[in-house]
Structure formats: C-alpha cells, structure tokens
Structure 1
C-alpha cells in the first residue's frame, strides 16, 4: 500500500475526490476560467553579473538569500555576508569587487554618507552600489545619488523589490527584448499535453499576429513535426548540440516556418542516439530564443529530470495538463507543490483538465479536482476522438478543421489568458458554475 507521504498529500482527500466524481455520468462543455493579469515581474531581467551583498540585519540577509533563489536571478552569482558597509570596505581592500555591491547600514545621515565615501575609495570605479537603509528622506536620497549610488531601498525589503532594483540598475546591459515562455507538461503520459501546447502556440500566433516559437523538447518521440505536417530534418537536437555556436542566426536556420507567425523547433525523427541531457542543456537555447521572439511555447515530455525541472522553474508560466482520474490528481498535486516551493514569488502553475466525458470511465469532477489542488482549472476540454484525430491526420490544428468547436474556443481562451489579453469577453465561470454544466453535452 502507498502511504500518505508517498502521495505528497492526504490519500483520503484524493480518494474522496475520486469517489465523489466516479460514475457520475457528468458531461462538460469546453469552458475556460480566466485569471488575473500578470505581475510586474514580467518586464524584469537580470544579466550575467556577480553580486556581493553585505547585510547588517538578519531580515535583509534573508531577503537577499530568497531573491538569489528566484528564477529571475538564475544568471547572477550572488554571495551574501554579514557586517554591513564595514565588511564591504574590508572585502574591497583585499580583492577585486563584483559588478554590484549591495550594502545595508543601520546608520543615518552623515554617518551613512561618510561610510559610503570610504567604500567608494576601496571599490573599483565600474562597480555599481545598491544601498539599503532606514532613512526615509528625499534630501538624504539625493545625497546618495550625488555620490554615485545606483539605487537606494528603504528597509525592510521584499525579495522582489531587490530583484526589481537590480533590474533597473542594469537596464542598459539587459535592454534587449525578452519574450515570454510558456512551459506545458502532462501530469501523466498520454493526457494530451502536447496537443494542448501545439494548439495554444498556433492560436497565440494567429490571435495576436505575433511571432511564436514552439520548441518540441521530447527529443526521441516528439510529435510537433507530425502535428504541423513538417519535415523534421533539423531542429532542437542541433540547437543544443553545440551551444557555443548557437545565436539568433543559427536558431533562425533551425526553425521551420508553419505560417507567417508560427515557427517550430522540431524534435528529431530518428533514434540512432540517446538523449541524456545535462541539467542546464536547454538554458542557452531558451536565452537565445527568448531574445528573438515575443512568445515561446515549450512542449516538455512527461519526465522528471534535472533539465526538465530546470526548464519548468525558469518558465514565465507553467501549464499542467491532466485527465480527471486519481493518478493524474496525485501527480498534478505533487508537481504543483514542488514548483510552488521552487518559485515562491511567482503565481502557482496553471492546469488544464483534458479528455472529460470519456465513455465508461469513472471521472473526478472538475470541482473536486480543483478543490484537491486548491487551484481553479484554466480550461476543461471534452473527450472528442473524432475531432482531434481528424486534425492530427491532416497535420492541422483543431481550429483549422473545426473553427466553431468547443475545443477551439477553449484554446482561444487559454491563449488569451496566457498572452495577457485580459479584455477578453469570454465567459468566466467559478467552481460553483460547474453544476450548471451537468447534462448539457455528452461527448465521446
């Protein structure tokens, strides 16, 4: 028997959700729940820099440590020390200084300014300084700026405020455009995560008339080339093979155009080699791609490896696709819990319920599924083997073969929610609204 700990949540709650939904005979329309707008973190970008923090209080030291663990700081090397400005001066006198010095002081007025003057004599001229203090005065702030301090934060500070300040300081260095990345993964194999990712990528490109790159990261068995009826002669395997050569020009040669705005980075079509990837194998590709296009959709296979986990953590948005059964609920819950801990300053992953209403299969209702996860579904898609099979056989997306279908509408709503089209007038349903859907449509 599997224990509660192995489930990652109460197995009683899981099985209660399964019991409540099993054999209900419910049927569902493809309806969507839109979420709140993206946070201001969207525009923040931290370049590859070295940061030394010299803290005077445990609270600021904790904030620095939490900021350093944020996905937005993945390119930065952060070292944290206690001792405040005095420790910073001593360190600068003994060794070269980093790109950024973050110094906290509990001193006020002239004492703080005098300490900064001594620090300026010790550190390299090119070093930027971010000061943290306890004086809330505009005249004091102006004196700091006169002395060349890049920015000043009033303590206590939040980790996201620290990240935003660092982003402002190095705005010129990281001024290149930064596209949004959306990572799609299934709670189990065969739940249709790739189908959802491909249709959403196509829909974003079509609705926004904006460039989108779809990266098929299932190197041995990816289906993006099949779904879009493309020849996968080269693609993502070539992009990660020699990262030292990878730039926007090479990436453009590896991409295959599907239409005016959607390009596909396809997976190989052969199994002559194995694909054992290092933890950071995808990082150069993502960095180059996000600097090239406004939107990047990542189709991640159902596997839990160091590289797939790193890609999920680094993505701007995560979408987990699940079918309404017990194993999917357990896996989705465990994935969401891990990713929420790894991304404490980001919204939780979103999830899509797929293949609802499959004949003769006991199902957990969307309401019970969402209650167990404590997250409302982004969309619910009906089981429709005919519609999806027809689109796959033609190498088309669902909306290209059945524009007015329920699933096509749901993909449009998902694209609106992810890409920030918050003015959408599409129907917004709370969890209690699922009751009204009972018996409306029988699909499958």
Structure 2
C-alpha cells in the first residue's frame, strides 16, 4: 500500500523524481486516468503530487472533486512558473500547495506540510468513532483596540478553511463587530436572530442565522445594532458554541477589546488562545495584563499563541524587545503592510485575494500550528524531506 502518489506524464521528469519518491514508498503514475483508477483501490492515500505538464483544468477538476469525496487527500500542484491568475483558481479548488518546478526544496517542504495536515485531518475526522467532527474553539483577543484583532481572526478563519475543513467565524464584538464589513457580508442574518431560540437552539436554528462566505467557511455575524448586542447573554454564547461544535472542525471567535461575560464564556470553552500584540507601549501593557488574566483563569500556557502583528514597523521597538516585554514568545510575526488596509477597505480578506502575500503566509503558519501541522524545517531525507513512518 502506498500513501503517496506522483502523477508525471513526462518520462524525463519521472526518472528525475522516481527513485527518491519510491524510496519513501511512493507510487509513480503516468496519467490522471491512471490516478482515477488507482485511488479507489487505495483509499488510504494521503498525498497526490501533480506534475508540471499535467493540464491545469484537469488537475483543478480532480482536486475539487476529491475535496468533497476524500478531503483527507492533499494535492500539491507543480507548475513551470507561478502565475498570479492561477493562484486563486488553485485556492478555490482546494489545492494544498502550488510550487514552481524549479523550486525542488519548495516541493519537498510542500509535501511534508500536506502529509502532516492530512494526518491531522484523519485524526479529526475519526472524531469519537462515528466520523463526526467536534470543533476546536480558537479565540482571538487583544485588550487594546486597533491591534488588528479582527484582521487576524478573519484571515485565520480563511486559512483554516482550506483542505475541506469546516470553519465557523463568530463575531463576539456584539456592539461594534467588523467581520461583516471585512468580508463584504450582509448583516441581515446575525447572532441576535437566534435569541428567540435561546434555551432550545438546535442545528437547523443555528444554520438559519449563519451566513456562508464560501465553501467550508460560515460566519456568525454580530448584531446590526449595539442595542441588539446587549440582549446576547453569556448563556446564549455557551449554547451557540455547544450547538456549533459538532458541525465544524474549527470555530474562530473574534472579540471586542474588553473582557465581557460573553468573551469569558468563549475563553472558558476555548482550545486555543490567540492574544495579539503590536509594537507600541499600550499594546505591550495590554498583552501583559492579558497573560496575567489567563494565568489567573488557569488557561494552559501551551495553548496560547502570541501573534506579533505589524512586525517590521519602524517605531523604535525591535521584535526581541517586544517579545521580552510581552513575557511570552511569538508564535508568528505578521509583517506590517499597507496591503492589509487596502484589503479591509475592499471587504476582501488578503488570505483570499493574495494567498502568497507575506501576511497571508504568516497567518497560514498560525493556522498550521492550530491544526497540528508540523512547520519545523526537517533535514532533507529523500523526496519528502524526511521519511514517513
């Protein structure tokens, strides 16, 4: 049985990669038609690498179909060169990684990430034995406004929604939530619409108030007015999360810059805590207070992933100084970029419009940490960079 497949019609390229790929138990195939007859016989397959000479439309059609039928399978697509117009099509179809043919180390790294993600997804989809998902709750928090909390939450939800994972983005900034604007969504359906079902909310009820942004990603928007937001109680937040967890793989919660009962309810149910810090003294003070609050509430330290937002901004504080002042190491550094502001103003998350942007890459790295995908560089050992068990 082979878990890894490489489709390469070109004899010279197949010879170039063949020995390394077979060394880790992989199978080399000559065509997409061979692949289609191969997969039903080997449903345990985790990785499909599609060579540069395979027709793009054929590769994307295959991937889109597998995303629905076998979401655990990861597809790495190799092209002669990376063209901007192709990237979005690949993202929409579910391609895990798009790599230029000349970037051999990039190909190896992409396959490592894809296999790690497939193994994590396999564990998640096994669930409690009945193949039902059970969402991990990821709460993004910053005690100071203007840190880019909602930007991180929105783009993190987009990143997590890759590879067929079902994600719910919940806007718990109940008075002034920005998720609807950032994703260009109508706030007609929102949390307040479920208040009449409080105490008896079920799956159909939840689905009646969420808004689908794109395949695999739904949003539960903040109320349209602050007055409606005041009616949302802590108990209803708990109920929303309880009902949503069996329906999704991840729930990303955006929060206001104040600690409310509703925010505490989400934090108490969270599996991951994402504090945000920026290179300015008020934000540093805020993140230190946040860490102290997390300690008092006994939230596990190994589930806290500090995001250094707007890293590289020339404001007189170096990353090392910010890290020391924050009192915890950075999980990722999201670079400062005016492109983020442009994306917000257009209502289009940068992780969607430009998935190769440094900001998108940083947030995708954060998503990989949350999803259990290994991102530590490995010593080169054959085709995949290391040998898989």
Scaled by the length of structure 1, the TM-score of the pair is 0.53
1:390 to 2:342 alignment:
yes
Q: In structure 2, what is the equivalent of residue 242 of structure 1? A: 197
Aligned equivalents of 1:404, 1:421: Cα separation in 2: 18
Q: In structure 1, what is the equivalent of residue 48 of structure 2? A: none
Distance 1:203 1:333, change over 3 A: same
Aligned equivalents of 1:375, 1:426: Cα separation in 2: 25
Q: In structure 1, what is the equivalent of residue 374 of structure 2? A: 422
Q: In structure 1, what is the equivalent of residue 188 of structure 2? A: 233
Distance 1:344 1:236, change over 3 A: closer
Q: Is the 8 A contact 1:217 1:300 kept in 2?
A: yes
1:350 to 2:350 alignment:
no
Q: Is the 8 A contact 2:174 2:226 kept in 1?
A: no
Deviation track 1:326-346 (CA, whole Å, cap 9, x = no partner) reads 221111111112212323556
Distance 1:425 1:412, change over 3 A: farther
- 1:22-421 matches, cutoff 5 A: 177-206=133-162, 208-273=163-228, 275=230, 277-343=232-298, 345=300, 347-358=302-313, 361-363=315-317, 365-385=318-338, 387-421=339-373
Displacement of 1:423 after TM fit?
5.4
Displacement of 1:377 after TM fit?
0.6
Aligned equivalents of 2:299, 2:334: Cα separation in 1: 29
Displacement of 1:276 after TM fit?
5.4
Larger relative contact order (Cα-Cα within 8 Å, sequence gap ≥ 6) = 1
Q: In structure 2, what is the equivalent of residue 94 of structure 1? A: none
Aligned equivalents of 2:213, 2:351: Cα separation in 1: 15
SS in 1 for 2:252: strand
Q: Is the 8 A contact 2:369 2:375 kept in 1?
A: no
Q: Is the 8 A contact 1:336 1:349 kept in 2?
A: no
Q: Which structure dedicates a bigger proportion of its chain to helix?
A: 2
Aligned equivalents of 2:289, 2:359: Cα separation in 1: 27
Deviation track 1:295-316 (CA, whole Å, cap 9, x = no partner) reads 1000111111222123213200
Deviation track 1:32-74 (CA, whole Å, cap 9, x = no partner) reads xx9xx9xxxxx9xxxxxxxxxxxxxxxxxxxxxxxxxxxxxxx
Deviation track 1:250-294 (CA, whole Å, cap 9, x = no partner) reads 111211111111011111233454515544331101111112111
Aligned equivalents of 1:406, 1:274: Cα separation in 2: 35
Aligned equivalents of 2:225, 2:299: Cα separation in 1: 39
Q: Which moved more, 1:413-422 or 1:399-408?
A: 399-408
SS in 2 for 1:390: helix
Scaled by the length of structure 2, the TM-score of the pair is 0.60
Q: Is the 8 A contact 2:158 2:351 kept in 1?
A: no
Distance 1:263 1:426, change over 3 A: farther
Displacement of 1:382 after TM fit?
2.1
Q: Is the 8 A contact 2:288 2:327 kept in 1?
A: no
Q: In structure 2, what is the equivalent of residue 99 of structure 1? A: none
Q: In structure 1, what is the equivalent of residue 106 of structure 2? A: none
SS in 2 for 1:362: coil
Aligned equivalents of 1:240, 1:350: Cα separation in 2: 32
Aligned equivalents of 2:215, 2:167: Cα separation in 1: 10
Q: Which moved more, 1:236-245 or 1:185-194?
A: 236-245
Q: Is the 8 A contact 1:256 1:264 kept in 2?
A: yes
SS in 2 for 1:335: helix
Unaligned runs of 5+ in 2: 1-112, 117-122, 380-389
Q: Is the 8 A contact 1:313 1:343 kept in 2?
A: no
Aligned equivalents of 1:325, 1:232: Cα separation in 2: 33
Deviation track 1:212-252 (CA, whole Å, cap 9, x = no partner) reads 00001112211111111111102122234532231111111
Which structure would you say has the larger Rg? 1
